[in-house]
């Protein structure tokens, strides 16, 4: 059980940040994962009323406040139409509708959960993270950076002409992915693999191979092999690293063929 | 601490602990349709409407509801019509999962969903161990007016 | 038939659906003490010392009970007929803890928070032993899980605690070795099934209080209220008359509540403090510390002659009962007794094996009760044999399976925990089930496989199954009918409705006999003070056993109404009949409305309460049959199996309520599908269950099950109430074998351990 001595809903991010610095405190996004932990914390800082649930559509970008729930990818017309419904399709398979109604973008990205489908999907787009204290950082960099006691304010996704696709393998449809793969093709090809079970990563060597040699069926086969070799897999309760490796090759190949 | 909440259209002031879960508070105040099935956000049995949208009440801190609106099955007039369709199909067995399913499905009716497959995607988080779902689907199709 | 075969909604449907407070936790006394259990973190240990002093000081704590405070009477938690075939090897609390999750201490306090806090503050010193975690190494393991001398069986079940054996069994008809020599084709295969979890959505819940006479009243989400009363009396050394057990509505059972779980703990608190108490298991506790299905291993040998005649079945098993021997022998025997008669023309058949203790979550009753484990092994091997013979597996089955009017020596030899009864199968439409199923799945065109794309291949597979209808000569159900002054009836039954709708179908049976609408039958069930005895809801007994009792009670009531009506009309009884509304002269026009008779009998003339009762014990246990056909799509690059169609054609005799029968089968199928494809069980190396929540233990969702098509064969069981047999369990049995066979037919890979995960398929394809 997670227990708090008090629960505060600050009215803006500055107030939230200050409270976080000066207390044994925890930020609450959707609370879905947080509440499964077993800890005693003095203060819960709930961002629900902090004005972070905005979606801004500009010429070049879409800005998504950290308290936007992931069901907005299905329901909000701006988000659901991005990249031809790519993000909508990803979001719709995550967990359940009820949970998507509370799970936030901030709570999904900030803790870098390995099983996350959305992180993998966003990694092949041009996605930037804005942290209240540390400022702007690309998602790719963020995943490699240790951040402490900061607050994720918003994410910004660059609008580009991209073809993107997402593949996953789950045994039950209603389960975590035991491997997920996202691929995008704009000027260059990007390949991300997540639920390895470690957090998503780009398949740099495979990307380089394709960006050098071009997208065709043979190269795709080769790139899929390279990806499965370069990425580090591990065992967990859901499956073995050997299985992940074999399936990674198949999913990367399928995804690439789709954007070819 | 005290929170002000509108539950099923009624203004209420509730006395809660800061870490209390909405599900427990609702039950404590007599909303027994709200039931715990899994406690991890997976089963959907505890679903209520939070500001009009279905959420699992086991995964929401009660303190969050301060200043917001909650609707449980008890406060959903449309529930009866769907309940009767489920009953006609015999699609209720132990009935334990029904309130969550009904709350979520009644919300779907507002979304004007056209296909059963779409409804199933939105209802994946409503687990049932007794019925095998097929009977529920027959009733849902009738209620939403979609092809099974 | 007017009321029987009517698709009426369940009597409790709207109350349940609209969320009325009807489950144990909803109706437990409001001021109940909250009870929680301190559980063992070790798989096998002895408690050297418990220090509760710090915990007791916490504000709000009312009592902490350890094994030192309780009587040490060996019992079994299994709710079965008495004397039970399960060894008495369980104590309310014991100095030994035998699995991670075993009970160490009972804590009661005013609220959740103080009890949680107290849990953390109890200091326990353990002497830790090496646990037995691999059931294949349990026999003769240096660790003895039940070293205590008090544990004992109630009669001979092959119990040998020193060898970690809870039960063992063997039987042989004919000579296996000799007959195998005469076979042209012999196949042999080994199978494993996992410890499936029930996941009834209402967690195990119990509440207790003392009534004004000082009697202990227990409200519990149980399938077996009368067994609970008897077992609690035994455990505490109380007279049965001082205990009352009430079962309100319950949120699913599937066998997981065919036992005592929380009841002794709340009872201990109430007996000690005099105060009401309740326990609601967390989902994690339900997983870690109630029941699972018995994991089993089977070695199957089959032999046939080249004309396609099955000659030999040899099944050698090993079953894992976990830390306690609940349902150990009986689930094991059912794996044979509810599969072997399917092929009743063999010359030799053998079934042998042992049920061993391990330091894992105890296994208990679970829908299918051994039959699903046995069916997976036998029906998979039948396909292997048919292939080796070059025969279509359906044709092979049709040639060898049991038919109406036939018998099997197994019926007599193998009962549940003892001998069974001789029985000719009076109703068996298995052949029709198979034929209809073939049509519905389109076997002729789809067998064995259809290639959908370069990476996706579809296959079809099938299996047949049987179950029972109650346990013959053991299971008893009783009913009381009482006429009210408005002409309605109270039906009082011990039978236990778990959501199955048994209250409704039993009312339908009474209504059919009396020719009144089911709406005029008011049902009250499962209260040991107010309703007659019934063994409870298990072994697929309610419709058949309790149904027959209700039918008899209703027939007696009808006679009584005619008798009293005739008297009032002043005509001889033989000249009068009753049509549901009127008692009337058969060849004349005198008549009397039932309502009038009822009012008169209450208030004005010849006053009396019309009341009848009846009991029923089955002399037979007519098996329901079914054929299950699966169509799967296998992705050969990922190993993922998608279930496309599942066709089930069932012979359960008359369907008393076709809607409810259909849902029973659909629900059973989906649980079977879950066991086949999704429900994986994992333990840590030191014996902690890891799949202890619904994030990791995956039951099927509504998107995992494909198309499910359920049909019933026309069938009539002469010994059943209005021709009915049971339908509660049969649905679960076929999916493991039918799906495994379909996968084999699609891609040529035979998976022999459950669940069939993408990983197992892909790794064997590689
Ligand atoms: C049962 C279950 C199954 C799931 N299955 C899947 C799945 O299949 N696929 C998938 O992609 N995801 C899955 N998820 C994860 C889900 O998508 C979210 O990542 C996760 O639940 C957290 O979202 P939240 O908004 O509830 O965050 P919270 O639980 O509120 O927070 C998570 C962590 O992030 C911190 N945090 C939250 N918001 C911020 C912020 N703005 N700034 C800084 N720190 C913050 C919190 O302090 C906490 O430590 C699952 C989650 C659960 C509970
Ligand atoms: S109890 Fe809330 S989702 Fe299961
Ligand atoms: S009816 Fe029992 S869980 Fe759905």
User: Does one domain contain both B70 and B6?
Assistant: yes
pLDDT tens by residue, C575-633 = 999 999 999 999 999 999 999 999 999 999 999 999 999 999 999 999 999 999 999 99
Interval between CA C368 and ligand 3 midpoint (Å): 18
* CA B93 to ligand 3: nearest atom: 1
Distance CA C321, CA C159 (A): 12
Interval between CA A150 and ligand 2 midpoint (Å): 30
Q: Which two tokens stand for residue C36?
A: 């929680």
pLDDT tens by residue, C711-760 = 999 999 999 999 999 999 999 999 999 999 999 999 999 999 999 999 99
Q: In chain C, which residues touch A (CB < 8 A)?
A: 116, 637-640, 677-678, 682, 690-691, 695-696, 698, 700-701, 703-704, 757-759, 762-763, 766
Contact C690 A172 (CB under 8 A): no
- CATH number of the domain to which B20 belongs: 3.10.20.30
State which of A33, A109, A172, A197 you would mutate to test the pocket of ligand 1, scoring each by most atoms of that ligand within 8 A of its C-beta.
A33
Yes or no: domain A55-158 corresponds to CATH 3.30.465.10: yes
Rounded mean pLDDT of C136-161? 97
Distance CA A44, CA A5 (A): 8
pLDDT at C389: 98
| Long-range residue pairs from A19-23, CB within 8 A, at least 24 positions apart, any chain | A19/A43, A19/A45, A20/A45, A20/A149, A20/A151, A21/A149
Beta bridge partners of C583: C578, C592
- Ligand nearest the Cα of residue C253 is 3
Beta bridge partners of C246: C219, C527
Q: Is the pLDDT of residue C116 over 90?
A: yes
Q: Cβ distance C250 to C23 under 8 Å?
A: yes
Question: In chain C, where are the structural domains located?
Answer: 13-129+201-252+257-289, 296-471+620-765, 476-617
* Closest residue of chain C to B78, computed from CA coordinates: C18
User: Does one domain contain both B67 and B127?
Assistant: no
pLDDT at C91: 98
User: Among C678, C691, C695, whose Cβ lies nearest the Cβ of A171?
Assistant: C678
Fold match flag (C296-471+620-765 vs C476-617): yes
Last residue of a domain, one of B44, B75, B106: B75
User: Does one domain contain both B123 and B109?
Assistant: yes
Residue among B56, B59, B111, B117 with most chain A CBs within 10 A, to mutate: B59
User: Does one domain contain both B104 and B60?
Assistant: no
Helix or strand run (H / E) with residue C24: helix C24-27
Distance CA C332, CA C506 (A): 31
* Closest residue of chain B to A6, computed from CA coordinates: B18
Cα–Cα distances in angstroms (integers) from residue C660 to residues A165, C396, C651, C666, C719, in the given order: 44, 33, 15, 10, 21
The position carrying tokens 């299985």 is A243
User: Does one domain contain both B10 and B68?
Assistant: yes
Q: Which two tokens stand for residue C306?
A: 């080249």
Q: Is the pLDDT of residue C415 over 90?
A: no
Q: How confident is the model at residue C418 (pLDDT cuts 50, 70, 90)?
A: confident
- Ligand nearest the Cα of residue B127 is 3
Partners for B (CB, 8 Å, 3+ pairs)? A, C
Chain B nearest C-alpha distance from C278 (Å): 15
The conformational region for residue C140 under phi > 0 = left, psi -120 to 50 = alpha, else beta, is left
Q: Which domain holds residue B18?
A: 2-75
3-state secondary structure chain A: CEEEEEEECCCCHHHHHHHHHCCCEEEECCCCCHHHCCEEEEEEEEHHHCCCCCEEECCCEEEEECCCECCHHHHCHHHHHHHHHHHHHHHHCCCCHHHHCCCEHHHHHCCCCCCCHHHHHHHCCCEEEEECCCEEEEHHHHCCCCCCCCCEEEEEEECCCCEEEEEEECCCCCCCCCEEEEEEECCCEEEEEECCCCCCEECHHHHHHHHHHCCCHHHHHHHHHHHHHHCCCCCCCCCCHHHHHHHHHHHHHHHHHHHC
Rounded mean pLDDT of C310-332? 98
Cα–Cα distances in angstroms (integers) from residue A150 to residues A105, B121, B143, in the given order: 15, 35, 47
User: Among A44, A93, A174, whose Cβ lies nearest the Cβ of B61?
Assistant: A44
Q: How confident is the model at residue C304 (pLDDT cuts 50, 70, 90)?
A: very high
Q: Cβ distance C389 to C169 under 8 Å?
A: no
Beta bridge partners of C219: C207, C246
Domain total of chain B: 2
Residue C99: closest CA among C131, C147, C135: C131
pLDDT tens by residue, C69-85 = 999 999 999 999 999 99
pLDDT at C215: 98
Distance CA A70, CA A64 (A): 10
Q: Which residues of B touch A30 (CB under 8 A)?
A: 59
Which residues make Cβ contacts (< 8 Å) with residue C354, sequence separation at least 6? C139, C158, C165, C167, C168, C169, C317, C318, C319
Architecture field, domain C13-129+201-252+257-289: Alpha-Beta Complex (3.90)
* SS3 label, residue C53: helix
Q: In chain B, which residues touch A (CB < 8 A)?
A: 1, 18-19, 21, 40-42, 44, 47, 50, 53-56, 59-61, 63-64, 66-67, 104, 121-127
Contact B41 A99 (CB under 8 A): yes
* CA B41 to ligand 2: nearest atom: 3
Distance of CA C451 to the CA centre of its chain: 39
Question: In chain A, where are the structural domains located?
Answer: 3-49, 55-158, 163-259
Q: Cβ distance C92 to C71 under 8 Å?
A: yes
pLDDT tens by residue, A66-78 = 999 999 999 999 9
What is the distance in angstroms between the CA of the first residue and the CA of the last residue of chain C? Answer: 58
Which residues make Cβ contacts (< 8 Å) with residue C83, sequence separation at least 6? C154, C155
pLDDT at C759: 97
Which residues make Cβ contacts (< 8 Å) with residue C46, sequence separation at least 6? C95, C96, C97, C126, C127, C129
Q: Running along chain A, 260 residues long, what does each successive block of 10 average in pLDDT?
A: 93 97 94 92 96 97 98 96 97 97 97 96 98 97 96 97 97 97 97 97 98 96 98 97 98 97
User: Does one domain contain both B64 and B87?
Assistant: no
Chain A nearest C-alpha distance from B38 (Å): 12
Contact B94 C16 (CB under 8 A): yes
Residue C689: closest CA among C239, C9, C41, C12: C41
pLDDT at C417: 83
Strand order, beta sheet including A135-138: A55-57, A61-65, A152-158, A127-131, A135-138
Distance CA C263, CA C231 (A): 10
Rounded mean pLDDT of C379-384? 98
User: Does one domain contain both B85 and B67?
Assistant: no
- DSSP string computed for B17-39: -TT-BHHHHHHHTT-TT---S-S
Which residues make Cβ contacts (< 8 Å) with residue C648, sequence separation at least 6? C437, C626, C627, C628, C629, C665, C669, C708, C709, C710, C711, C731, C734
User: Does one domain contain both B56 and B118?
Assistant: no
pLDDT at A139: 98
Residue among C758, C763, C766 with most chain A CBs within 10 A, to mutate: C758
User: Among A92, A98, A101, whose Cβ lies nearest the Cβ of B121?
Assistant: A92
Interval between CA A105 and ligand 1 midpoint (Å): 8
Contact A174 C695 (CB under 8 A): no
User: Does one domain contain both B68 and B25?
Assistant: yes
- DSSP string computed for C270-311: HHHHSS-EEEE--HHHHHHHS-BPPPEEEEEEEEEETTTEEE
Q: Is the pLDDT of residue C286 over 80?
A: yes
Q: How many helices (H) and strands (E) does chain C have?
A: 20, 27
Strand order, beta sheet including C591-593: C576-578, C582-585, C591-593
For all residues of chain C together, what is the average pLDDT? 97
Interval between CA B96 and ligand 3 midpoint (Å): 5
pLDDT at B147: 83
Query: What DSSP character marks residue C67?
Result: G
- Ligand nearest the Cα of residue A175 is 1
Q: What residues line ligand 3, using a CB cutoff of 6 Å? A: B 92-97, 128-131; C 201, 252, 499
State which of B44, B86, B97 you would mutate to test the pocket of ligand 3, scoring each by most atoms of that ligand within 8 A of its C-beta.
B97
- CATH number of the domain to which B88 belongs: 1.10.150.120
- Give me the residues of chain B with pLDDT under 50, please: none
State which of C692, C695, C696 you would mutate to test the pocket of ligand 1, scoring each by most atoms of that ligand within 8 A of its C-beta.
C695
Q: What is the CATH number of domain A3-49?
A: 3.30.43
Strand order, beta sheet including C641-651: C449-451, C456-466, C625-635, C641-651, C707-712
Q: Which residues of B touch C694 (CB under 8 A)?
A: 38, 40, 42-43, 127
Q: How confident is the model at residue C541 (pLDDT cuts 50, 70, 90)?
A: confident
Q: What residues line ligand 2, using a CB cutoff of 6 Å? A: B 36-39, 41-46, 56, 58
Q: Which two tokens stand for residue A257?
A: 């063929």
B96 contacts chain C (CB < 8 A):
yes
Interval between CA A139 and ligand 1 midpoint (Å): 16
Chain B nearest C-alpha distance from A4 (Å): 5
What is the distance in angstroms between the CA of the first residue and the CA of the last residue of chain A? Answer: 49
Distance CA C424, CA C572 (A): 41
Contact A237 C677 (CB under 8 A): no
* Closest residue of chain A to C637, computed from CA coordinates: A250
- DSSP string computed for C599-626: HHHHHTSS----EEEEEEE-S--PPPEE
* CA A170 to ligand 1: nearest atom: 8
CA angle C726, C731, C734 (to 5 degrees): 130
Q: What is the CATH number of domain C296-471+620-765?
A: 3.30.365.10
Strands C243-246 and B2-7: unpaired
Peptide bond into C755 cis (omega under 30): yes
CB atoms within 10 A of CB C419: 12
Helix or strand run (H / E) with residue C453: none
User: Among A169, A172, A176, whose Cβ lies nearest the Cβ of C678?
Assistant: A172
* CA B38 to ligand 2: nearest atom: 4
Distance CA C443, CA C429 (A): 19
Architecture field, domain C476-617: 2-Layer Sandwich (3.30)
Contact C249 B127 (CB under 8 A): no
Helix or strand run (H / E) with residue C117: helix C112-121
Q: How confident is the model at residue C1 (pLDDT cuts 50, 70, 90)?
A: confident
Burial grade of A59 (CB within 10 A; 0-12, 13-18, 19 or more)? exposed
Alpha helices in C201-274 (DSSP H): 225-236, 263-273
- CA nearest ligand 1 atom 12, residue: A116
pLDDT at C319: 98
Residue B25: closest CA among B66, B77, B78: B66
* Closest residue of chain A to C640, computed from CA coordinates: A171
Distance CA A91, CA A76 (A): 12
Cα–Cα distances in angstroms (integers) from residue B83 to residues B9, B140, C10, in the given order: 21, 10, 12
pLDDT tens by residue, C673-690 = 999 999 999 999 999 999
Rounded mean pLDDT of C170-197? 98
Architecture field, domain A163-259: 2-Layer Sandwich (3.30)
Last residue of a domain, one of B48, B75, B102: B75
Residue among B51, B125, B127, B133 with most chain A CBs within 10 A, to mutate: B125
Last residue of a domain, one of B75, B93, B118: B75
């Amino acid at each position: 059980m997670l227990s708090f001595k008090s629960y505060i809903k600050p009215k803006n991010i500055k107030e939230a940040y200050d409270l976080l610095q000066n207390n044994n405190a925890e930020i609450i996004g959707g609370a879905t994962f947080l509440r499964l932990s077993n800890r005693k914390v003095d203060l819960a800082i709930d961002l629900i009323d902090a004005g972070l649930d905005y979606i801004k559509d500009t010429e070049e970008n879409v800005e998504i406040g950290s308290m936007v729930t992931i069901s907005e990818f299905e329901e909000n017309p701006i988000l659901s139409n991005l990249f031809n419904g790519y993000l909508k399709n990803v979001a719709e398979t995550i967990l359940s509708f009820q949970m998507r109604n509370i799970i936030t973008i901030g709570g999904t990205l900030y803790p870098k959960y390995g099983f996350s489908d959305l992180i993998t999907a966003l990694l092949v787009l041009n996605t930037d993270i804005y942290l209240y204290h540390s400022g702007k950082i690309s998602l790719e960099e963020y995943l490699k950076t240790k951040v402490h006691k900061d607050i994720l304010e918003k994410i910004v996704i660059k609008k580009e002409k991209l073809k993107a696709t997402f593949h996953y393998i789950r045994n039950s449809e209603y389960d975590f992915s035991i491997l997920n793969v996202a691929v995008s093709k704009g000027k260059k090809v990007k390949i991300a693999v997540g639920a390895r079970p470690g957090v998503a990563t780009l398949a740099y060597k495979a990307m380089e191979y394709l960006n050098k040699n071009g997208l065709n069926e043979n190269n795709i086969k080769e790139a899929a092999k390279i990806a499965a070799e370069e990425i580090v897999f591990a065992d967990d309760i859901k499956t073995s690293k050997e299985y992940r490796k074999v399936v990674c090759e198949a999913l990367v190949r399928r995804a690439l063929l789709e954007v070819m | 601490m005290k929170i002000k909440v509108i539950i099923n259209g009624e203004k209420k002031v509730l006395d809660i602990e800061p870490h209390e879960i909405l599900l427990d508070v609702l039950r404590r105040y007599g909303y027994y349709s709200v039931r715990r099935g899994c406690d991890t956000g997976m089963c959907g049995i505890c679903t209520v409407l939070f500001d009009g949208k279905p959420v699992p009440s086991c995964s929401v801190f009660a303190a969050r509801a301060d200043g917001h609106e909650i609707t449980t099955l008890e406060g959903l007039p449309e529930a009866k019509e769907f309940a009767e369709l489920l009953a006609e199909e015999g699609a209720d067995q132990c009935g334990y999962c029904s309130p969550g399913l009904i709350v979520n499905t009644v919300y779907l009716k507002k979304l004007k969903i056209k296909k059963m497959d779409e409804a199933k995607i939105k209802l994946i988080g409503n687990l049932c161990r007794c019925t095998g779902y097929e009977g529920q689907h027959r009733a849902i199709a009738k209620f939403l007016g979609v092809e099974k | 038939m007017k009321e029987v075969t009517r698709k009426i909604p369940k009597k409790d449907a709207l109350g349940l659906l609209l969320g009325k407070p009807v489950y144990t936790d909803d109706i437990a006394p409001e001021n109940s003490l909250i009870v929680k259990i301190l559980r063992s973190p070790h798989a096998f240990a002895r408690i050297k010392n418990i220090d509760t002093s710090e915990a007791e000081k916490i504000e709000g704590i009312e009592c902490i009970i350890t094994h030192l405070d309780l009587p040490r009477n060996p019992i079994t938690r299994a709710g079965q007929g008495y004397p039970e075939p399960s060894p008495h090897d369980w104590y309310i609390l014991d100095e030994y803890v035998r699995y991670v999750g075993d009970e160490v201490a009972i804590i009661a306090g005013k609220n959740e928070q103080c009890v949680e806090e107290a849990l953390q503050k109890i200091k326990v010193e353990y002497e830790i032993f090496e646990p037995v975690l691999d059931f294949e190494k349990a026999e003769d393991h240096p660790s003895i899980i039940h070293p205590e001398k008090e544990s004992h069986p109630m009669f001979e079940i092959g119990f040998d605690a020193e060898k970690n054996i809870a039960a063992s069994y063997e039987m042989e008809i004919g000579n296996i070795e000799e007959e195998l020599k005469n076979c042209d084709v012999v196949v042999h295969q080994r199978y494993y099934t996992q410890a499936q979890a029930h996941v009834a959505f209402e967690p195990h819940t119990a509440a207790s209080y003392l009534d004004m006479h000082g009697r202990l009243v227990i409200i519990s989400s149980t399938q077996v209220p009368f067994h609970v009363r008897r077992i609690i009396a035994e455990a505490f050394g109380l007279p049965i008359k001082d205990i009352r057990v009430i079962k309100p509505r319950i949120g699913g059972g599937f066998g997981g509540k065919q036992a005592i779980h929380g009841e002794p703990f709340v009872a201990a608190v109430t007996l000690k403090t005099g105060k009401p108490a309740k326990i609601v298991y967390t989902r994690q506790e339900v997983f870690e510390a109630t029941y699972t299905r018995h994991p089993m291993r089977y070695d199957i040998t089959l032999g046939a002659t080249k004309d396609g005649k099955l000659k030999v079945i040899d099944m050698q098993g090993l079953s894992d009962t976990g830390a306690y021997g609940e349902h150990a022998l009986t689930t094991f025997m059912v794996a044979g007794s509810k599969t072997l008669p399917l092929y009743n023309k063999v010359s030799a058949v053998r079934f042998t094996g042992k049920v061993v203790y391990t330091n894992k979550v105890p296994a208990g009753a679970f829908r299918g009760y051994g039959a699903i484990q046995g069916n997976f092994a036998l029906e998979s091997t039948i396909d292997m044999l048919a292939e080796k013979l070059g025969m279509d597996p359906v044709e092979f089955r049709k040639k060898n399976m049991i038919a109406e009017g036939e018998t099997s020596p197994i019926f007599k030899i193998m009962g549940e925990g003892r001998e069974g009864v001789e029985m000719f199968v009076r109703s068996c439409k298995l052949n029709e089930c198979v034929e209809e199923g073939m049509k519905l799945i389109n076997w002729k065109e789809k067998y064995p496989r259809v290639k959908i794309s370069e990476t996706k291949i579809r296959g079809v597979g099938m299996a047949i199954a049987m179950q029972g209808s109650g346990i013959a000569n053991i299971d008893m159900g009783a009913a009381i009918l009482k006429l009210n002054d408005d002409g309605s009836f109270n039906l009082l039954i011990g039978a236990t409705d778990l959501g199955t709708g048994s209250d409704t179908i039993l009312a339908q049976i009474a209504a059919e006999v009396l020719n009144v609408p089911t709406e005029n039958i008011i049902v009250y069930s499962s209260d040991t003070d107010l309703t007659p005895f019934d063994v409870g809801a298990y072994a697929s007994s309610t419709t058949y056993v309790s149904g027959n009792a209700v039918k008899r009670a209703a027939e007696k009531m009808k006679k009584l109404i005619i008798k009293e009506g005739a008297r009032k009309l002043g005509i001889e009884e033989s000249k009068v009949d009753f049509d549901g509304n009127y008692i009337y002269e058969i060849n004349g026009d005198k008549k009397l409305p039932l309502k009038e008779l009822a009012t008169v009998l209450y208030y004005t003339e010849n006053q009396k309460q019309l009341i009848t009762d009846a009991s029923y014990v089955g002399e037979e246990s007519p098996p329901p049959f079914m054929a299950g056909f699966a169509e799967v799509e296998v992705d050969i690059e990922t190993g993922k199996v998608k279930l496309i169609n599942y066709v089930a054609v069932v012979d359960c005799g008359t369907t008393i309520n076709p809607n409810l029968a259909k849902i029973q089968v659909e629900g059973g199928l989906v649980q079977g599908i879950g066991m086949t494809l999704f429900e994986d069980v994992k333990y840590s190396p030191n014996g902690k269950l890891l799949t202890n929540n619904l994030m990791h233990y995956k039951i099927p969702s509504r998107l995992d099950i494909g198309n499910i098509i359920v049909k019933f064969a026309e069938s009539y069981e002469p010994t059943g109430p209005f021709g009915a047999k049971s339908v509660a369990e049969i649905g679960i049995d076929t999916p493991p074998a039918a799906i495994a066979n379909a996968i084999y037919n699609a891609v040529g890979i035979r998976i022999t351990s459950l669940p069939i995960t993408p990983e197992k398929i892909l790794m064997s394809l590689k």
